[in-house]
Chain A
Amino acid sequence: MMAYILRRILYAIPILIGVNVLTFVLFFVVNSPDDMARMQLGQKRVTEEAIQNWKAERGYDKPLLWNAEAEGLDKVTDTIFFKKSIRLFLFDFGRSDSGRDISSDIQQRMWPSLAIAIPGLIVGLLVNISFALLIAFFRGTYLDISGVVLCVILMSISSLFYIIAGQYLVGKLMNLVPISGYDTGFEAIKFLILPVLVGLVSGIGSGTRWYRTIFLEEIGKDYVRTARSKGLSERLIMFRHVLKNAMIPILTGVVVILPLLFMGSLITESFFGIPGLGSYTLDAINSQDFAIVRSMVFLGSVLYIIGLLLTDISYTLVDPRVRLS
């Protein structure tokens, strides 16, 4: 298995280089270093000299990908792309274009993101699996049909609607929790209830349908028929056998998203005023802070690759038939 993991890590290197090139090209197609300087220096009374100074200070005065004036290897290395990218592979994110240390900001801002993401994931899993199990239990009845219809309706509504409606109903009309905001320590709990609840409701349609499909697939398998023929009750079959076996795809589906929980949610964090990594990325895009955008995309890619690797490993752990080679 170690050889497999090592091979996957080596595969990751060209993928990360590719992601980095793509991010770089896409960013600089839309923004030039001059645009970035103007954005950072403000809109009023910005002189050409100030723009050139800003670029020189941050290394944006070099060619983007190819330095025709340089000699030898410097043609490649003395460019914005190389200077800004190479340190990423050592997880040295450097400083943002506004001058702040990115690693320090990430360390600070991942906790609020996790504070929403972890309870959201756990509660979401419990509720979605419970609903899916119930609907699968009542398969073929009008409860199943109405449950699926309800799920489709819930899936069809924009997550923005759930946020605004949640804030209006729970925060404003019922006065149960703060509409938005965040705090540290135990004070954070009251701010997390609504975003977690909104995340739960907005994800219940797709989650329940997905798990229902998994359960129905399991229900059609031979071992269930055997259990039924042995006279086991439907309740015992569902909760003891189907649920246990269906946990394999559920678990692997969860493992893949675990590392990405760090990255936060763009819209939820913005609407609820939660200072996580989602809003960090969004702010960076809006302020054309390439250093942060590049770092967050790189980090997201690394975490995704780790997620996929963990998924493969988790397969071997929960299903002895699977071997990595």
Chain B
Amino acid sequence: MLGRLSLLFLFLFAGGCAEPPWNNPYPAEQDTASIIYDHFAERPKHLDPVRSYSSNEYLFIGQIYEPPLQYHFLKRPYELIPLTAAEMPTVTFLDAAGNVLPEDTSAEKVAWSIYRITLQPGIKFQPHPAFARNEQGDFLYHNLTEEDLEDIRTLDDFEQTGTRELVADDYVYQIKRMAHPTTHSPIASLMAEYIVGMRELSAELRKQSTPADKHYIDLRNFSMQGVRVIDRYTYEIKLRGKYPQFIYWLSMSFFAPMPWEADRFYSQPGMEEKNITLDWYPVGTGPFMLTENNPNLRMVLERNPNFHGERYPSEGEPEDEEKGFLVDAGKSLPFVEKAIYSLEKESIPAWNKFLQGYYDTSGITSDSFDQAVQLGAQGDVQLTEEMQRKGMKLLTAVTTSTYYMGFNMLDDVIGGYSDRAKYLRQAISIAVDYEEYISIFANGRGLPAQGPIPPGIFGSKEGKAGINPVVYEWDEARNKPRRKSIEVARELMIKAGYPGGRDEKTGKQLILYFDTTGGGPGSKALLDWLSKQFRKLGIQLVIRSTDYNRFQEKMLKGTAQIFQWGWNADYPDPENFLFLLYGPNGKVEHKGENAANYNNPEFNALFEKMKNMDNGLQRQAVIDKMIAIAREDAPWLWGWHPVAFSLHHKWYSNAKPNLMANNTLKYKRVDPVMRSAKRKAWNQPVLWPLKWVVLLFLLFMIPAVLIWWRKERATAL
């Protein structure tokens, strides 16, 4: 009886699953297929390469679109290498008269820079209906009528597909798209400062297409002075002045090719109403193509049959061979046929599915940290026994990000450049113990920042030479920086005119305001901790919690006093961090990214000099000066640089973290046979609790039957 009931339960639970594991979220036929399984938490907003600008979008389009350059997968410091380009771009500097200048010409003499990019021939786009032609050579789907679209629901409903060779025109077309106001490219205004003719084209296109009327405009009919096609495979981009960071932008999807056929195809009337847009269905030349785009459920990338081919790198860092990152050297890419990304909005189910083997990799959230990682006797990080037993691997990497606490330099109390304000900020910089913060709130996954530039990026220094002397002193015995004592901070408070945290003129306690978006129970511990840090100096910290919109408004108006902010690198160059402190980039006055509104003329002058310099001793010397000035002025509490922890299963290889590259899926490899065996071993159904449930039910039924029996035989009186 018990067995039969258990079987009934099993049938209900298994829901048609035949072979264990029953909790497998994937179809049985995928069991030993060469597929990578991963998850994403936030649906991508845009897949149009001219618009996409966030990591959750790059996860997909990075594998589809191919800009001319890419980052070397293994080498550090990060190094750019050709992707679709045949070789690295040649850069020619010209003076105002158009004369060619030597390569080492200083920035002020350079009037124009010309980047010439030559593509590899024979690269083809993925199969796509935009390229489909009939026997006469006419495009099949470029003049669709309402009737033609009647039965079309998705891109897959178009029966025919085609392809064509990638040419220089496709890259030029994309740069023109960037200039189009209705594409809302986030870097359009930045690029318009440099690319010659971009601003003019933008103005012309604005006249052609009003915001409310976005009809198709064939951008091939428009010219941009600074961008021209030299031959089928070569194009040039002309920039104003010298802009060495431009080369990094050439590795980002903003500069990926866009075939005019795709733009034309998606712009047809009726397509947008069916949600068939370029923002939803990308068209690229990369190793993968998006075959399922359901960001509310899953995104599926499949190998592009037209991929031009690429080889796994044969060189890397010295330890890469030992770590197994060079096992596949020289082999043809990509290694997997498919990658399935499932939406997991909540971290707990995602983590549990990773432990069951249904995801190949996982980050480590605070919820799962103790289960995954433990600190060794020497403070070293190692996996817990459970993770080691499962054969998991842990990889860590200091991110190219910085999280800081900023002081609004426009504020009367905390801002400004007087000694009083400077000493006050310096005192707070010492008092707020970021070592403690990282230990409590980030499980030790971070490095206290010594300045704005994260480790691993040119300009950042390690060891004694790299410490911030305003906040730290060097501990010779432990060979690491040591935060200055609170007494030093208190002395600075006296110099600032706030002995014991009280205004020496009025005797009133100094009250400062921390503006934040996090005011819920989840942030209470952090905010309490922060208040405690300020109390060390006798300062009362008032928390002003608000929603994100109001916070943004305060930042734009400059009414916030102290705030937290962060920045992820666009490219591995110090300019991308130091520009956060550049005066003409101030948030209030110029709506820029300098949230602290720091504006030191000396720093600004050095920034203008540094940004156009090539990496070398001279540039390092300028950066050192800039950082010294900023440390002294202390517009930020320098905060911390997060260390990313990621786990992956034994069957997943070539997992070396590359924080700049967005196209690393092609290097990843899985052993699906091992994965299948492990999944089966880890997910055998556990049935005994069901028997207990049935038993408990029966136990409950005994008194019920007895009472029923009594009731049925009871008399009315």
The distance from the CB of B658 to the nearest CB of chain A, in whole angstroms, is: 20
Partner of B14, one of A169, A176, A191: A176
Indicate whether A44 sits within 8 Å of B186 (C-beta atoms), given known contacts A38-B552, A190-B16, A275-B296. Answer: yes
Q: Does A309 contact B (CB under 8 A)?
A: no
Q: Which residue of B lies closest to A61 (CB)?
A: B211
Could you tell me the distance between the alpha carbons of A138 and B714 in the complex, rounded to whole angstroms? 13
User: Which residues B348-404 have CB closer than 8 A to chain A?
Assistant: 348-349, 352-353, 355-356, 358
| CB-nearest residue of chain B to A193 | B15
Q: Is A271 part of the binding interface, using a Cβ–Cβ cutoff of 8 Å?
A: yes
A16 at the interface (CB under 8 A from B): no
Q: Is the CB of A273 within 8 A of B24?
A: no
Q: Looking at the complex, which one of B15, B279, B353, B716 makes contact with A190 (CB distance below 8 Å)?
A: B15
Among A38, A54, A235, which residue has its beta carbon within 8 angstroms of that of B712?
Answer: A235
Tell me the nearest residue of chain A to B210, going by C-beta: A56
Residue of A nearest to B273 (CB): A101
A30 within 8 A of B: yes
Chain A contacts of B297 at CB under 8 A?
Answer: 181-182, 273, 275
A321 to B24: give the CA distance in the assembly, Å.
54
- Which residues of chain B are near A143, meaning CB under 8 Å? 703-704, 707
Is B685 within 8 A of A99, CB to CB? no
Chain B window 667-689, contacts with chain A (Cβ cutoff 8 Å), 1 for yes, 0 for no: 00000000000000001111101
- Alpha-carbon distance between A1 and B689 when the two chains are bound, in angstroms: 54
A280, B296: Cβ atoms under 8 Å? yes
Min CB gap B574→A, angstroms:
18
Where chain B touches its partner, the secondary structure class is loop
A199 CA / B346 CA spacing, docked (Å): 18
Nearest CB in chain A: distance from B539 CB, A: 30
Interface residues on A, range: 35 or more
Whole-angstrom CA separation of A45 from B249 in the bound complex: 14
> Would B27 and A47 count as touching, CB distance under 8 A?
no
Assess whether B547 is interfacial by the CB under 8 Å rule: yes
Report the minimum CB–CB distance from A141 to chain B (whole Å).
6
Whether, in the assembled complex, A57 has its beta carbon less than 8 Å from a beta carbon of chain B, the answer is yes
Within 8 A of A (CB), among B261-283: 272-275, 277, 279-280
Distance, CA A193 to CA B23, complexed state (A): 11
Contact B186 A57 (CB under 8 A): no
User: For residues 237 through 277 of chain B, which have their beta carbon under 8 Å from a beta carbon of chain A?
Assistant: 272-275, 277
Chain B residues positioned under 8 Å from A35 (CB to CB): 549, 552-553
Q: Mark A190-219, 1 if CB is under 8 A from B, else 0.
A: 111100000000000000000000000000
Indicate if the CB atoms of B25 and A181 lie closer than 8 Å.
yes
Given contacts A176-B685, A181-B25, A191-B25, are A30 and B547 in contact (CB under 8 A)? Answer: yes
B96: Cβ under 8 A from any A Cβ: no
Cross-chain contact of B16 among A170, A172, A186 (Cβ < 8 A): A186
Q: In this complex, what residue of A is CB-closest to B13? A: A176
Which residues does chain B contribute within 8 Å of A142, judged by CB atoms?
Answer: 703
**B586-625 interface mask toward A, CB cutoff 8 Å, 1 = contact, 0 = none?**
0000010100000000000000000000000000000000
Name the one of B20, B280, B712 contacting A233, with C-beta atoms under 8 angstroms. B712
Neighbouring A residues of B352 by C-beta, 8 Å: 167-168, 171-172, 179
Instruction: Kindly list chain B residues whose C-beta atoms are within 8 Å of the C-beta of A53.
Output: 181-182, 184, 211
Give residues of chain B (314-349) contacting chain A, Cβ–Cβ below 8 Å. 342-346, 348-349
Q: Please give the distance in Å from B7's CB to the nearest CB on chain A.
A: 13
Chain A residue, CB-CB nearest to B343: A273
- CB neighbours (8 Å) of B712 from chain A are 233-235
A279 part of interface (Cβ distance < 8 Å): yes
**Do the beta carbons of B549 and A30 come within 8 Å of each other?**
yes
Within 8 A of B (CB), among A19-76: 30-32, 35, 38, 40-42, 44-50, 53-54, 56-57, 59
Contacts A57-B211, A59-B212 supplied; 16 other A-B pairs, CB < 8 Å = A44-B570, A45-B187, A48-B591, A49-B189, A57-B212, A95-B272, A99-B279, A142-B703, A173-B686, A174-B686, A175-B22, A176-B685, A180-B346, A189-B16, A235-B708, A272-B349
Could you give 16 example pairs across A and B, Cβ below 8 Å? A44-B593, A47-B188, A53-B182, A53-B184, A98-B45, A177-B23, A178-B353, A180-B349, A181-B25, A186-B16, A189-B15, A191-B25, A193-B12, A229-B716, A275-B343, A287-B45
Nearest 7 CB-CB pairings of A with B: A275-B296, A56-B211, A178-B25, A57-B211, A35-B549, A189-B15, A180-B349
Tell me the B residues contacting A by CB distance below 8 Å: 12-17, 20-25, 27, 43, 45, 53-54, 181-182, 184, 186-190, 210-212, 214, 272-275, 277, 279-280, 294, 296-297, 342-346, 348-349, 352-353, 355-356, 358, 547, 549, 552-553, 570, 591, 593, 683-687, 689-690, 703-704, 707-708, 711-712, 716
